[in-house]
Structure 1
């Protein structure tokens, strides 16, 4: 009987964009193309203080924590049998190097076709003629930036792959990939900007190599070719620390970006995602971060998934604004929803962090939440707060997974008759703010969830049993100001 491979399939890493010939040469000169880069500085959220934190790199951590190994031997890439727990570096930039290749970079469709060839080659090296291994063989694809577009072109373009090829991929994890293109100063990269293939990030060109029909306004759909629930997007929210091109990129990308890719463009429609105060690359980059690594291994190897969203029932107004509304005056308001997920025992990272201070909070208008008719939408746009993958193998005592959800709701301010109304109340004040300790225990018939308000109680207390619903669990939230909402959590077995 063949040894089971799941969930520790071979990992293929696909690096991001190298622009100039010098960057290409530098990339090709390194064996691991960035997957071996670590960091020793931890940016403490948004206040600018820098702490020392040694993160060895995703490659070394996978070796130390999960027994993976590289595929190099005797100065070259091994052609011998490989263990399933192998990290394979897709070196598609070698053709663009004047010394090792032709000096001409592959197009994204050509790189995607090469990825298909590599996947089949890895299957041969791992499985040989063992029918049992071949039947269960799959790979995990991990990609940074443009590498994620190479992966998507392989998965989505019918001229490059078919259903059998795509079935060899178990899961995909992307760091900071511009799934909906790159915008410069609010405009999408023009299609005519062909220098160094920068137009690879133009939506019209992307639609072509992704195999999307027509002229879609957005190109962040997998188009039914791959299950988005098996596709994870890790999103950076720190534009300040991206210093490429002397800081020009971060100035053009602006806030609500990682310094290159806008937050709204860094995810695939319908896919789980996490957010971290990290930049596109560099000392505070997404790949060489503890946050990125922890999301990666929990998504690939974890056994529990928790998704949270908030259904808002009441958004109270300050007394002076409420009085104006009662007088028939026109009131407009929008709201920030902040959500941070922290597993117990982890002091150096957050699984996901969306905060107003880092310009990454979820923004919704009053009408989108409570007046769908005026917003001209069919249903409220309830904020999706997080998707967290957890691993019961990390439990140190007992059989309960424990994690915290820091949740806050605030206003951007109020307008009365189209004029900003700062009188009598503080602009941006919180309507709700609390930290919930969530305790999740697996039972023979499913899960049991207990919760506790940690801002007013010790987090080690047992808490209250959450109400079970058909779609998961419901937790009623309220504040003395009159805010009311239901936190809905969906818990499922991951794999």
Structure 2
């Protein structure tokens, strides 16, 4: 990787989503870019339903205009697919994996191959692209230096995972060339509907059984069971999951799909099924970086055709700093009346909703957003945060601490004078519905109220003399708008190893009842 002078701008292979019917397949193969060129002029404005005009040219056009990428279509030929075309292939190029061509009646047999076949085809495409790129002397590239990014929508993410995870479906050389994977709205843990828990394996219409967990376990080469989102043979932290949270605007099948998928979905894929995990470098299970955006599975309000999607994509692919926010809760106090009932031996139950919205300086779009009214807030019961028996002292379970965000920053887009990078996050802990002996306690309840809420700004300045290479400030929007002013007490993530990144904590203490005590843990790591 160190010898690749073009890093992080590697070739991008786009892997499209599922086409159910023959008509959809024919429409797909008739498009040179298979949908990656589709933009939108519409932007849904939150919950009101009003439509705002916003011109998003498409991911393809933006990558070309912003990052100088090129396509590989010249004189009617696909330079990567054409065996005898000697036209040079640029390194910073976008390639469309046209895996549905074989299923077309015009270009193929009209029969759709299995997903395993698509995975093998991706392996061959990567190796063919590598050879074409390395043959172009202007790229100054050797096969050992060559890397590629995979960007996939919906089922395309499963094609990528099948190729990466199942050693029977690809070569070691092609897998080693993959640098990062970005998935839009991929059903990593299958598709669940109201009527049936999981797409049944016998339902072969349009090959929708590709989303049955037993079948997925086979082509992903993971143990059969309820969880097929497990990543193997590839670092889970180098897969980004962009999760849609808006079923309302998914109009496929006249809205039946959105109804069947339910509220906590993008209209097809449930939020809980759109995230991958797997063993990290230390062998412990880690969840892949992810972001949540109020977009539907596809269409004019779709997740691919969105500025939020593009901003997350380019920062994940090209950024140099990853920042994660975790809310560590040390204690949550109860209202006085509920506390008295608890001391009197009555059974008290409560669960908590955590809302988060994170944004980066200079961008009008939020990188991630999870809200109760969009059915995407983080949910934790008191028993999850503080496991144990009633009447005993409980210690917080850090494994259940809410992970608020993963944000990728690019210092190349920093303020020119200070070279700093900055982001903000709005975090809320909503007042729960308390139950006392099974009866709802609402004497002190105001809908929409919260125990804790702060809009916090964080700014990091590169400083070779500072611990971890960065000097960090944070602040509160309501105290000093737009200007972080408190010096963070930075520590190294790994003792004695500044290359692993740094961490600092922002203390929280709400002394009111109900109240919250804990800290916001901010972890920053170099990203390449």
| Contact 1:2–1:132 (8 Å) recurs in 2 | no
2:17 maps to 16
Cα distance per residue 1:142-177 (max 9 Å; x no partner):
000000000000001111124332111000000000
| Shift in alpha-carbon separation, 1:247–1:379, aligned structure 2, 3 A | same
**1:31 alignment partner in structure 2:** 32
Give the Cα–Cα distance (whole angstroms) in 1 for the partners of residues 19 and 62 of structure 2. Answer: 25
Pairing 1:267–2:286 present: no
TM-score (norm 2): 0.90
Q: Deviations over 1:192-249 (max 9, x none)?
A: 1111101000000000011113x222000112x0001111110100011111100000
Superposed CA offset, 1:324-374 (max 9, x none): 112221111110111111111222x11111111211010000111123567
Query: What secondary structure does 2:100 align onto?
Result: helix
Q: Which residue of 2 aligns with 1:180?
A: 189
Counterpart for residue 492 of structure 1 = 525
Q: CA deviation at 1:129?
A: 8.1
Contact kept? 1:256, 1:263, Cα under 8 Å: yes
**What are structure 1's unaligned runs of at least 5 residues?**
none
Following TM superposition, by how much is the alpha carbon of 1:428 offset from its aligned partner in structure 2, in angstroms? 5.0
Q: Rate the CA distance shift 1:197–1:393 in 2: closer, same or farther, 3 A.
A: same
> For 2:76 and 2:99, how far apart are their aligned partners in 1?
18
Partner of 1:61: 62
CA 1:132–1:2 in structure 2 vs 1: closer, same or farther (change >3 Å)? farther
1:344 to 1:469, Cα distance in 2 relative to 1, 3 A = same
1:478 to 509, 516, 520: 509
How far has the Cα of 1:378 moved from its partner?
6.6
For the pair 1:463 / 2:480, whether they are aligned, the reply is no
* Shift in CA distance, 90/458, structure 1 to aligned 2, threshold 3 Å: same
CA distance in 2, matches of 1:337, 1:377: 16
Residue 470 of structure 1: CA displacement? Answer: 4.1
Match of 1:391 in 2: 410
Task: Please say if 1:280 is aligned against 2:297.
Answer: yes
Within 5 Å, give how 1:71-82 maps onto structure 2.
Answer: 71-78=72-79, 79=82, 80-82=87-89
- Among candidates 471, 478, 485, match of residue 448 of structure 1: 471
Q: Aligned match of 1:208 in 210, 218, 228? A: 218
What are the within-5 Å matches in structure 2 for residues 62-461 of structure 1?
A: 62-78=63-79, 79=82, 80-128=87-135, 132-185=141-194, 187-213=197-223, 215-223=224-232, 225-269=233-277, 270-347=287-364, 349-372=365-388, 379-397=398-416, 398-427=418-447, 429-444=449-464, 445-460=468-483
> Equivalents in 2 of 1:301, 1:380: separation in Å?
30
**Which runs of no fewer than 5 residues in structure 2 stay unpaired?**
278-286, 494-502
Distance verdict in 2 for CA 1:383–1:427, change over 3 Å? same
8 A Cα contact 1:334 1:364, kept in partner: yes
* Structure 2: distance between partners of 1:228 and 1:15: 21
How far residue 485 of structure 1 moved from its aligned partner, in angstroms, is 1.7
| In 2, Cα distance between equivalents of 1:158 and 1:47 | 48
Report how far residue 417 of structure 1 moved: 0.8
Alpha-carbon separation, structure 1, partners of 2:388 and 2:240: 30
Q: Is the 8 A contact 2:291 2:369 kept in 1?
A: yes
Shift of residue 44, structure 1, vs aligned partner: 1.8
Task: Go from structure 1 to structure 2 and tell me whether the alpha carbon gap of 1:358 and 1:378 turns closer, same or farther (over 3 Å shift).
Answer: closer
Give the 3-state SS of the residue equivalent to 2:433 in structure 1: strand
What is the TM-score normalised by the length of structure 1? 0.95
Alpha carbons of 1:96 and 1:43: their partners in 2 closer, same or farther (altered >3 Å)?
Answer: same
Q: 1:261 deviation in Å?
A: 0.2
Shift of residue 50, structure 1, vs aligned partner: 1.8
Secondary structure of the 2:523 match is strand
Superposed CA RMSD: 1.9
Please tell me whether the aligned partners of residues 152 and 183 of structure 2 are also in contact (alpha carbons under 8 angstroms).
yes
Structure 2 CA distance for aligned equivalents of residues 489 and 373 of structure 1: 31
Q: SS in structure 2 opposite 1:92?
A: coil
Deviations 1:267-316 (A, max 9, x none): 11121001100000011111010000000000000011101111001212
Q: Kindly tell me: are residues 33 and 129 of structure 1, through their superposed partners in 2, closer, same or farther at Cα, counting changes over 3 Å?
A: closer
Structure 2: how far apart are the matches of 1:412 and 1:458?
29
Aligned partners of 1:64, 1:200: CA distance in 2, in Å? 36
Contact 1:176 1:280 in 2 (8 A): yes
Aligned equivalents of 1:343, 1:466: Cα separation in 2: 19
Distance 1:308 1:494 in 2: 16
Using the alignment, how far apart are the partners of 2:359 and 2:193 within structure 1?
A: 33
Q: Distance in 2 between matches of 1:154 and 1:81?
A: 27
1:320–1:424 Cα contact (<8 Å) kept:
no
- Displacement of 1:81 in angstroms is 2.3
Deviates more, 1:4-13 or 1:395-404: 395-404
